[in-house]
Structure 1
Amino acid sequence: MLVVEDELFVAMLVEDLLYDLGCAVVGPAASAREAVAAVEADGFDLALLDVNLGDGETSFRAAEILRERGVPFAFVTGYGDQGVRPDLRDAPILSKPIDPRQLAKVIARLGEA
Structure 2
Amino acid sequence: MSDATTGAPLRVLIVEDEGFLAMEAEDILHNFGFEVGASVASVSEALSWIEESGNFDVALLDVNLRGETVFPVADALATRGIGFAFATGYGDEGVRPDLRAYPIISKPYAPEELRNALHAAATLLR
Per the normalisation by structure 1, the TM-score is 0.93
- Percent identity, aligned pairs only, is 51
Alignment size in residue pairs: 112
Q: Is the 8 A contact 2:63 2:70 kept in 1?
A: yes
Counterpart for residue 58 of structure 1 = 69
* Partner residue of 1:84 out of 95, 99, 112: 95
Quick check: 1:22 aligned with 2:33?
Answer: yes
- Considering fraction of residues, name the structure with more strand: 2
Which runs of at least 4 in structure 1 moved beyond 3 Å after TM superposition? none
Question: RMSD of aligned C-alpha atoms?
Answer: 1.0
Q: Which blocks of at least 5 consecutive residues in structure 1 are unaligned? A: none
Partner secondary structure for residue 38 of structure 2: strand
Could you tell me whether the CA contact under 8 Å between 2:26 and 2:36 is conserved in 1?
yes
Contact 2:84 2:121 in 1 (8 A): yes
The alpha carbon displacement at 1:110 in A equals: 2.5
Q: Distance in 2 between matches of 1:71 and 1:90?
A: 14
In structure 2, the gaps of 5 or more residues are 1-11
Give the TM-score, by structure 2 length: 0.84
